[in-house]
């Protein structure tokens, strides 16, 4: 039985993450403040705050929670921890300033700054922390939630139970604020200071104890079981429901009173002895919040202890490429010679289930890792060595993205029309074709022409990595300024320079960047890193970037973005039930002999006509409403990039579905190849998947509208006009989001799995 009790923990990942985040922020901020004012931000405060979080975790995850429905006394201890212990410990850690200082500078200054200076909010905060409000909040919460009707409701519903706990915790935070004197509440008598002198906290606490005593004595002396839930609950501790209730009342009475009376006693002693309470406000004044120390350096993956060394190994990229090349060869061999049932063939599952899903996940978490590990560019490098670099120049007429856009369209269209995902043989030949094209183009032509101008998969990644959280970029512009050799682009005897002509000091974002690490290894000053950036930061404005020029002025770049964004919708829509039903209706209505014209119309309409019409319409409206220069063309080009987050979100949501529903698809194939028996495929859809998909799209919408706003601001002369210019594009973003949500809620074909 003891084992059953001690193992009844509920480790909720969300709670753990939130508490860890709260702890991390505090520790970051505390370290800075401790170095500036060690006598104010003491180790005791740190321990108190962390102890408070630990108590919170104990209250919500320990067996106290599990047994709360069976034993009132366990529930009472849980409430005592939530009301008296956790809030007091957290507040003793003076958490406000450390939490603010723990935030990244940009988030603090740009994100929270305007709210912190908002008079209305300050006024509300002052009113909310008035002792009368604080006292009433906790008293009301205690009386309300201890009434039998609401207490039983909380016990019957996880939602109400959570609300009850939240009410207790929040109101207790308010209650203890004036007692502890939490910054930024200033001392009584100071301008804008506390409403009551310190000695008033004595009756404040005593009155709270009277309420607590009344409530607990009601539980102790009651002759019947107050809460029906416990009357019906099975007895597990060898005591009756009434005894359990009396014990719970005693716990509330004695330890509960001690919690109020000890601080009341200490305050009385202070008042009697005339000891002035030490100012709780930190020595570091408010201005220090605004005047932050020098910005901390952003995270650089190359400078991490172990990972950084691995990433910078000379042959790290080659190792990745060789591994993927081996897999590609396996795909070709199995595709050509293995069984032609796609889910039983490496060519049917590795590219279509695993590779696509992993590549888009990598975009979201790091960046263009697929191009980094690309086996085709590896083959291109081999061809270049064999052909001894003829160094032809890529034809000027083809130095744009138009060819790649056409190939991207062809790839997505052919995938649907010829069910490439369902044909191991065709997939194998596509891989062979890819190798041949990469070897021919990169072998004969200068630089990485295949990657820059031809590869549709590469272009897909270039667009989506515009919202990745990492960029390959120079750490210090000053170091680049003093560099005379420019090896990052020119190369040297040991390493070649960037083959896509991206000069590090002038590189803007991830567009055209294959994460090849050539520039990193060629830099003699070790000044190039894989550095954390705010997703989408490179497309917040129109910067001229090395090797790519100004993206907002390039029709081919804008068209590529439109193709990727609308391609995400069309590609997913073509495999959901209602759309497939409509396609078959059209097919039957016109008496066609093939689905080819219907699918082709869908792809032409969705990937070409729809973006053209919508870009024109929104461009005309926004340039008219915002009185922008350049007409609809300029608007269509510049606002296109604001749609990237939505497109990326949809690709991630779509491919993640296939990856997560088919992650065991490799087992039967491995079983066939290696002669292992007994593997079965799990077809379960994780219960959290749809929520995760919606959240990803939500983030895409919010980031998309933010980028629309930035584009509108940069193209108009006043805020009012920017708001007007924003309307059509924000509406388009919401429309794309709504269509994406609708698609995700339709039954989707399970591809690449044995059903």
Partner 1 sequence: MRFCVLWLVSAALLFADGGMVLQHTETGPFAVTVFESPVPARVGMVDLSILLQTSGTLEPVLDARVDLELTHGDSRLRTRVTRQQAQNRMLYAASVQIGAAAVWHYNFRVTPASGGTPVTVEGDITVSPGEAGLDAYRIYLVLPFLCLAVFALHQRLKWRTARKAG
Query: Hey, which residues between 194 and 233 contact partner 1 (CB under 8 A)?
Result: 229, 232-233
Query: Phi, psi (5° rounding) for residue 470?
Result: -130, 150
528-532 vs 470-474, strand pairing mode: antiparallel
> Given candidates 35, 147, 156, 285, which one binds partner 1 under the rule CB under 8 A?
156
What the block records as the tokens of 717 is: 């002369």
Name which of residues 508 to 547 contact partner 1 (CB under 8 A).
none
Residue 412 Cβ vs partner 1, minimum distance, rounded to whole Å? 27
Q: Does position 14 bind partner 1 by CB under 8 A?
A: yes
Residue 172 Cβ vs partner 1, minimum distance, rounded to whole Å? 11
Q: Does position 675 bind partner 1 by CB under 8 A?
A: no
CA distance 64 to 80: 11
Residue 235 Cβ vs partner 1, minimum distance, rounded to whole Å? 6
Residue 234 or 481 having the CB closest to partner 1? 234
Name which of residues 335 to 374 contact partner 1 (CB under 8 A).
none
Residue 206 or 702 having the CB closest to partner 1? 702
> Given candidates 20, 35, 38, 112, which one binds partner 1 under the rule CB under 8 A?
112
Name which of residues 536 to 595 contact partner 1 (CB under 8 A).
none
Residue ranges in 181-238 assigned as alpha helix (H): 201-221, 228-232
Q: Does position 117 bind partner 1 by CB under 8 A?
A: yes
Q: Does position 2 bind partner 1 by CB under 8 A?
A: no
Query: Phi, psi (5° rounding) for residue 202?
Result: -70, -55
- The packing angle between helices 158-180 and 201-221, to 10°, is 150
> Given candidates 31, 133, 136, 170, which one binds partner 1 under the rule CB under 8 A?
170
Residue 617 or 741 having the CB closest to partner 1? 741
Residue 209 Cβ vs partner 1, minimum distance, rounded to whole Å? 25
> Given candidates 114, 390, 395, 735, which one binds partner 1 under the rule CB under 8 A?
114
CA distance 334 to 666: 13
Q: Does position 483 bind partner 1 by CB under 8 A?
A: no
Which of 38-46, 156-164, 352-360, 527-535 is the region at the interface with partner 1 (rule: CB under 8 A)? 156-164
Which of 157-165, 268-276, 386-394, 438-446 is the region at the interface with partner 1 (rule: CB under 8 A)? 157-165
Which of 98-106, 189-197, 280-288, 343-351 is the region at the interface with partner 1 (rule: CB under 8 A)? 98-106
What the block records as the tokens of 20 is: 């860890």
> Given candidates 173, 572, 643, 644, which one binds partner 1 under the rule CB under 8 A?
173
Residue 601 or 691 having the CB closest to partner 1? 691
> Given candidates 19, 202, 220, 506, which one binds partner 1 under the rule CB under 8 A?
19
Which of 112-120, 435-443, 544-552, 608-616 is the region at the interface with partner 1 (rule: CB under 8 A)? 112-120
List the x/- string, 694-733, binding to partner 1 by CB under 8 A. Answer: xx--xx-xx--xx--x---------x--------------
CA distance 347 to 362: 21
Is the CB of residue 289 less than 8 Å from the CB of residue 100?
Answer: yes
CA distance 371 to 628: 38
List the x/- string, 125-154, binding to partner 1 by CB under 8 A. Answer: ------------------------------
Q: Does position 111 bind partner 1 by CB under 8 A?
A: yes
Which of 115-123, 139-147, 522-530, 538-546 is the region at the interface with partner 1 (rule: CB under 8 A)? 115-123
Distances (CA, A) of 155 to 65, 163, 380: 11, 11, 66
Distances (CA, A) of 621 to 513, 618, 731: 34, 5, 11
Residue 144 Cβ vs partner 1, minimum distance, rounded to whole Å? 17
Distances (CA, A) of 354 to 256, 408, 426, 457: 56, 20, 18, 15
CA distance 622 to 614: 12
180 C-beta neighbours (distance < 10 Å), count: 19
Q: Is 604 exposed, middle or buried (0-12, 13-18, 19+ CB in 10 A)?
A: middle
Q: Does position 661 bind partner 1 by CB under 8 A?
A: no
Residue 625 Cβ vs partner 1, minimum distance, rounded to whole Å? 17
Distances (CA, A) of 273 to 181, 199, 269, 369, 503: 19, 12, 6, 68, 71
- Nearby residues of 593 by Cβ (< 8 Å), 6 or more positions away: none
CA distance 569 to 575: 10
> Given candidates 202, 211, 220, 236, which one binds partner 1 under the rule CB under 8 A?
236
Residue 9 or 402 having the CB closest to partner 1? 9
Residue 133 Cβ vs partner 1, minimum distance, rounded to whole Å? 14
Is the CB of residue 483 less than 8 Å from the CB of residue 526?
Answer: no
Residue 456 or 704 having the CB closest to partner 1? 704
Q: Does position 737 bind partner 1 by CB under 8 A?
A: yes
> Given candidates 235, 279, 295, 337, which one binds partner 1 under the rule CB under 8 A?
235
Query: Phi, psi (5° rounding) for residue 228?
Result: -60, -35
Residue 9 or 624 having the CB closest to partner 1? 9
Is the CB of residue 604 less than 8 Å from the CB of residue 579?
Answer: no
Residue 561 Cβ vs partner 1, minimum distance, rounded to whole Å? 21
Name which of residues 26 to 65 contact partner 1 (CB under 8 A).
56, 60, 63, 65
Size of the site for partner 1 (CB under 8 A): 73
List the x/- string, 384-413, binding to partner 1 by CB under 8 A. Answer: ------------------------------
Distances (CA, A) of 68 to 75, 76, 229, 610: 4, 8, 11, 57
Q: Does position 463 bind partner 1 by CB under 8 A?
A: no
Residue 239 Cβ vs partner 1, minimum distance, rounded to whole Å? 10
Q: Does position 605 bind partner 1 by CB under 8 A?
A: no
Q: Does position 1 bind partner 1 by CB under 8 A?
A: yes
What the block records as the tokens of 74 is: 């366990």
Q: Does position 310 bind partner 1 by CB under 8 A?
A: no
Residue 158 or 678 having the CB closest to partner 1? 158
> Given candidates 221, 481, 687, 755, which one binds partner 1 under the rule CB under 8 A?
687
DSSP 511-567: TT-----HHHHH-TT--EEEEE--TTGGGSS--EETTTEEGGG-HHHHHHHHHHHHH
Residue 22 or 350 having the CB closest to partner 1? 22
- Collapse the DSSP code of 345 into the 3-class scheme (helix H, G, I; strand E, B; otherwise coil) and give the result: coil
Residue 358 Cβ vs partner 1, minimum distance, rounded to whole Å? 25
Residue 100 or 532 having the CB closest to partner 1? 100
Q: Does position 70 bind partner 1 by CB under 8 A?
A: yes
Is the CB of residue 368 less than 8 Å from the CB of residue 512?
Answer: no
> Given candidates 37, 100, 211, 322, which one binds partner 1 under the rule CB under 8 A?
100
CA distance 461 to 399: 18
Residue ranges in 283-355 assigned as alpha helix (H): 287-290, 307-311, 316-337, 346-349
Q: Does position 676 bind partner 1 by CB under 8 A?
A: no
> Given candidates 50, 84, 85, 99, which one binds partner 1 under the rule CB under 8 A?
99
Is the CB of residue 500 less than 8 Å from the CB of residue 513?
Answer: yes
DSSP 395-460: PGGG-SSHHHHHHHHHHHHHHHHTTGGG-HHHHHHHHHHHHHHHHHHHHHBSTTHIIIII-HHHHH
What the block records as the tokens of 489 is: 């682009």
CA distance 358 to 658: 11
Q: Nearest CA to 743 among 561, 564, 578, 605?
A: 578
Is the CB of residue 694 less than 8 Å from the CB of residue 744?
Answer: yes
Q: Does position 169 bind partner 1 by CB under 8 A?
A: yes
């Amino acid at each position: 039985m003891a084992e059953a009790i001690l193992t009844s923990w509920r480790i909720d990942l969300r709670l753990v993450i939130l508490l860890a985040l709260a702890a991390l922020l505090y520790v970051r901020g505390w370290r800075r403040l401790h170095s500036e004012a060690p006598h104010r931000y003491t180790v005791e405060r740190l321990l108190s705050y962390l102890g408070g979080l630990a108590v919170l975790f104990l209250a919500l995850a320990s067996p106290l929670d599990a047994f709360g429905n069976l034993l009132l006394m366990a529930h009472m201890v849980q409430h005592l921890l939530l009301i008296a212990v956790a809030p007091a410990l957290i507040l003793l850690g003076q958490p406000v300033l450390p939490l603010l200082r723990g935030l990244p500078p940009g988030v603090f200054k740009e994100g929270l700054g305007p709210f912190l200076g908002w008079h209305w909010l300050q006024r509300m905060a002052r009113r909310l922390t008035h002792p009368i409000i604080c006292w009433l909040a906790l008293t009301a919460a205690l009386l309300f939630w201890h009434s039998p009707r609401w207490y039983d409701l909380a016990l019957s519903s996880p939602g109400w139970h959570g609300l009850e706990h939240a009410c207790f915790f929040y109101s207790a935070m308010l209650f203890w604020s004036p007692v502890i004197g939490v910054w930024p509440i200033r001392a009584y008598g100071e301008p804008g200071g506390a409403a009551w002198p310190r000695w008033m906290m004595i009756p404040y606490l005593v009155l709270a104890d009277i309420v607590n005593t009344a409530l607990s004595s009601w539980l102790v002396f009651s002759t019947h079981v107050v809460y029906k839930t416990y009357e019906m609950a099975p007895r597990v501790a060898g005591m009756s429901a009434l005894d359990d209730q009396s014990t719970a009342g005693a716990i509330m009475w004695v330890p509960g009173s001690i919690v109020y009376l000890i601080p009341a006693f200490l305050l009385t002693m202070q008042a009697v002895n005339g000891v002035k309470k030490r100012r709780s406000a930190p020595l570091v004044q408010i201005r220090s919040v605004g005047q932050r120390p020098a910005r901390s350096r952003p995270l650089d993956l190359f400078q991490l202890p172990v990972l950084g060394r691995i990433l910078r190994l000379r042959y790290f990229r080659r190792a990745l490429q060789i591994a993927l090349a081996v897999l590609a060869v396996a795909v070709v061999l199995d595709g050509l010679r293995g069984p032609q049932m796609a889910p039983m063939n490496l060519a049917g599952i590795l590219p279509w289930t695993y590779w696509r899903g992993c590549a888009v996940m990598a975009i979201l978490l790091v960046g263009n890792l697929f191009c980094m590990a690309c086996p085709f560019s590896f083959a291109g490098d081999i061809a270049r060595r064999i052909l001894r670099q003829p160094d032809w120049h890529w034809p000027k007429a083809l130095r744009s993205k138009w060819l790649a856009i056409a190939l991207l369209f062809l790839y997505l269209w052919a995938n649907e029309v010829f069910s490439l995902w369902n044909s191991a043989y065709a997939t194998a030949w596509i891989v062979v074709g890819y190798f041949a094209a990469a070897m021919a183009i990169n072998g004969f032509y200068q630089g990485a022409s295949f990657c820059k101008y031809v590869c549709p998969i590469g272009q897909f990644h270039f667009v989506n990595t515009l919202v990745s959280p990492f960029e390959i970029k120079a750490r210090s512009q000053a170091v680049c300024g003093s560099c005379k050799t420019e090896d990052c682009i020119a190369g040297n005897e040991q390493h070649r320079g960037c083959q896509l002509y991206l000069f590090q000091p002038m590189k803007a974002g991830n567009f055209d960047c294959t994460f090849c690490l050539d520039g990193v290894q060629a830099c003699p000053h070790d000044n190039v890193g894989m550095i954390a950036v705010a997703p989408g930061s490179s497309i917040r404005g129109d910067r001229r970037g090395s090797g790519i020029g100004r993206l907002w002025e390039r029709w081919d770049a804008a068209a590529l973005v439109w193709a990727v964004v609308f391609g995400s919708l069309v590609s997913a829509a073509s495999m959901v039930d209602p759309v497939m039903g409509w396609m078959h209706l059209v097919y039957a209505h016109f008496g066609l002999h093939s689905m080819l014209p219907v699918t082709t119309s869908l792809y032409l309409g969705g990937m070409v006509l729809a973006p053209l019409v919508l870009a024109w319409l929104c461009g005309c409206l926004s340039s008219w409403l915002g009185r922008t220069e350049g007409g609809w063309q300029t608007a269509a080009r510049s606002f296109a990039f604001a749609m990237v987050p939505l497109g990326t979100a949809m690709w991630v949501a779509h491919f993640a579905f296939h990856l997560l529903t088919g992650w065991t698809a490799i087992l039967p194939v491995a079983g066939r190849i290696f002669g292992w028996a007994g593997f079965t495929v799990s077809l379960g859809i994780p219960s959290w998947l749809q929520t995760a998909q919606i959240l990803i799209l939500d983030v895409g919408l919010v980031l998309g509208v933010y980028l629309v706003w930035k584009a509108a601001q940069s193209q108009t002369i006043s805020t009012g006009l920017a708001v007007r210019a924003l309307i059509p594009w924000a509406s388009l973003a919401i429309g794309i989001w709504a269509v994406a949500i609708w698609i995700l809620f339709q039954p989707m074909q399970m591809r690449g799995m044995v059903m």
